[in-house]
Amino acid sequence: MQSPGFLLIISGPSGVGKTTITHEVERALGAVFSVSLTTRPITPKDVEGRDYYFVDKPTFEARRDRGELLEWAEVFGNCYGTPRGPVQDTIAAGRIMILEIDVVGAIQIKARMPEAYALFVLPPSENELLRRLRSRKREDETVIQRRFAKAKSEIIQAWECSIYDDFIVNRDLDKAVAEAVDLVRQRRDR
Ligand code: 5GP
């Protein structure tokens, strides 16, 4: 018998490896990645429609005000939100829908859909997180320090809000991926 679909929330600070974990869960379990709407500027690494739908602020606000977003949050001064339609369709089709969203968004989802399964990915240490943020060579030092400060406060918030079902420490990426796939499989088969 096919297992019912459900929402999988994956959160964690920038640079912690959550995108790799997300892609592996997609591949291993046939899960579907929810493409968010964002007002943040597109970067050369982003693909429109695969990573995000890039929109301007008035478009974002209009869609949010029409009730088209399941949750939304402001991160680093930009708005991010989850389109409602694909989530409903994917779950109805019996598949796992992955939301790679921040803690504020995860709290909104859990309040409305307590059966959603929420994972938080932690770095092995603060120093290691800072090292990884720098090694991505994606931003200048000011932005890196801002992301680092936000990461530390997000980790505290994640512990304190008590909505996360499990925490994974990404010390070794292969092991963290295997652990995540295992946990999600257990949740699916329970
Ligand atoms: P980035 O700009 O680095 O891709 O993402 C910045 C942050 O926004 C990450 O923590 C990411 O998980 C979060 N994020 C991405 N999409 C959404 C969304 O639809 N809703 C919420 N609440 N957060 C999101």
Percent of the chain with pLDDT over 70: 99
Position 2 pLDDT exceeds 70: no
Ligand 1 mean position, distance from CA 77 (Å) = 11
**What are the tens digits of pLDDT across the range 46-58?**
999 999 999 999 9
- State whether residue 4 is helix, strand or coil: coil
Edge-to-edge order in the sheet of strand 117-122: 32-33, 96-100, 6-11, 117-122, 166-169
Atom 14 of ligand 1, nearest CA residue: 101
> Would you say the CB of residue 80 lies under 6 angstroms from ligand 1?
yes
| 1 CA distance to ligand 1 middle (Å) | 34
Q: Which residues contact 34 (CB under 8 A, 6 or more apart)?
A: 82, 83, 86, 87, 90, 97, 98, 99, 100
Residue 139, token pair as written in the block: 């931003």
| Mean per-residue pLDDT, 109-132 | 95
pLDDT of residue 14: 83
Mean pLDDT, residues 84-102 taken together:
96
Output the CA 70–ligand 1 centroid distance in Å.
14
- 1 — pLDDT class (breaks 50, 70, 90): low
Question: Quick check: CB of 123 below 6 Å from ligand 1?
Answer: no
Asked if the model's pLDDT at residue 112 lies above 90, the reply is yes
The pTM (predicted TM-score) of the whole model is: 0.94
pLDDT tens by residue, 123-149: 999 999 999 889 877 788 998 999 899
110 vs 1, higher pLDDT: 110
> For ligand 1, what atom is nearest to the CA of residue 36?
19
- Closest residue by Cα to atom 11, ligand 1, is 101
Output the residue whose Cα is nearest ligand 1's atom 3. Answer: 14
Tokens 């505290």 belong to: 156
